[in-house]
Amino acid sequence: MKTITRTEDLAAFCARAHESRYVTVDTEFLRERTYYAKLCLVQLALPGKNPEDAVLVDPLADGLSLEPLITLFRDTNVVKVFHAARQDLEIFWVDHDVIPEPLFDTQVAAMVCGFGEQVGYETLVKKIARARLDKSSRFTDWSRRPLSDAQKTYALADVTHLRQIYEFLEKKLRDTGRHRWVTEELGVLTDPETYVTRPEDAWRRVKTRSASPRFLAVLRELAAFREAYAQERNVPRNRVFKDDALTELASTKPQSTEDLGRSRLLLRDARKGDIAEGILAAVARGVAVPNDALPEPEERMDKGQVNPALADLLRVLLKAKTESQGVASKLIAPAADLDALASGERDLPALRGWRHEVFGADALKLCEGRIALAAKGSQVTVVEI
């Protein structure tokens, strides 16, 4: 197996790729000790079974430039095939300001084609390629050199079997006319906004039971400081302080280092220096927010507003529709969206695009009492009223 460590060799491989219908792509990276992922290896494969059709690219090699690969990613005549592409795409967007186009994600396609929820690569290899993967190298340190033969074999398998999986799924989509479904789903993955994390919005990801606007104002400032600090120093946000410490600080609103010393959950390193100063300044900003500028809590669905019988009927309808269409149910509507629909919410993904065709149109009719559900043997059928 070939490992590319020189720019000219990468350029030669990419020149061949520009003449191909598609290229399969995967990466190995580390993120345990950094905020941004550290790219350690890129795997590429072209259609065909010759050994030179699949290579490993070592981005840690001295003097190697990934520019030929970035140029390939911008070539709209070559489909770039990934499996569960989100983290891979984030790396290339953050490091190189590029999102491969056109994109094909076999995990998304497999869900559309009825292979289940969030189907893993190993499962597709077994079901489609009729092969088995050796996963023993999965959690190894990909930044260490030299790479072992076991690591190389594992990494290469992530793109060689992907060729057969892609061709199988692409044909199935073509036969069923569902290419548009996948294109709609990939809209989020190909949107650069998906990979932008703004410190001022970080508080929305923190789970908390309190809906107090003042508490949320302090929480917002603390989360923004933590996110900005982690980004600037490229360290995981939990290494600054964890969510439980964040919510504790938002509740206690410390005003001095002595107050920080009484925290039960704050790490020792966060009670002094730059982090401590940042915490105290963030708390002060949150406390000083004028009443008319306090953040409003996100609207939470009142369980009393949900019609439980209607929610159950929607679940039955969804199950019937997805089984007949051969598509993963959670791809159309998770349980929370069904409850929202039963409570009267109408701004939901299930009511737009291909989901509306498969489920949403009849779901609205069910909510409006224009259809009923009937059991016929093992099948559930829709009855017009």
pLDDT tens digits for range 286-332 = 999 999 999 988 765 455 578 899 999 999 999 999 999 999 998 99
Residue 70, CA distances (Å) to 79, 99, 200 in order: 14, 9, 31
323 is written with which tokens?
A: 């089984």
The pLDDT of residue 51:
82
Q: Which DSSP symbol is given to 131?
A: -
Question: What is the rounded CA–CA span in Å between residue 205 and residue 243?
Answer: 10
**Three-state secondary-structure class, residue 289:** coil
Question: What is the rounded CA–CA span in Å between residue 131 and residue 123?
Answer: 10
196: left (phi over 0), alpha (psi -120 to 50) or beta: beta
The pLDDT of residue 304:
54
The pLDDT of residue 375:
87
Question: What is the rounded CA–CA span in Å between residue 317 and residue 373?
Answer: 8
CA dihedral 20, 183, 330, 378 (to 10 degrees): -90
- Count of positions (residues) in the chain: 385
Q: Tell me if 122 sits within 8 A of 133, measured CB to CB.
A: yes
b/e burial code for range 318-356 (CB count within 10 A of at least 16 → b): bebbbeebebbbebbbeeebbbbbbbeeeebbbbebbbb
Question: What is the rounded CA–CA span in Å between residue 60 and residue 128?
Answer: 33
The pLDDT of residue 299:
63
The pLDDT of residue 54:
97
The residue assigned the tokens 């990939």 is 186
* Neighbour count for residue 132 (Cβ, 10 Å): 11
Q: Tell me if 18 sits within 8 A of 78, measured CB to CB.
A: yes
Q: Tell me if 113 sits within 8 A of 326, measured CB to CB.
A: yes
Helix, strand, coil percentages (3-state) for the chain, rounded to 5, are: 55, 10, 35
- Consecutive H or E run containing 30: strand 22-30
57 is written with which tokens?
A: 């690219």
b/e burial code for range 286-296 (CB count within 10 A of at least 16 → b): beebeeeebbe
List, for the chain, all residue ranges whose pLDDT scores fall below the cut of 70.
299-304
The residue assigned the tokens 């790479």 is 147
The pLDDT of residue 125:
96
Question: What is the rounded CA–CA span in Å between residue 338 and residue 310?
Answer: 9
The pLDDT of residue 164:
97
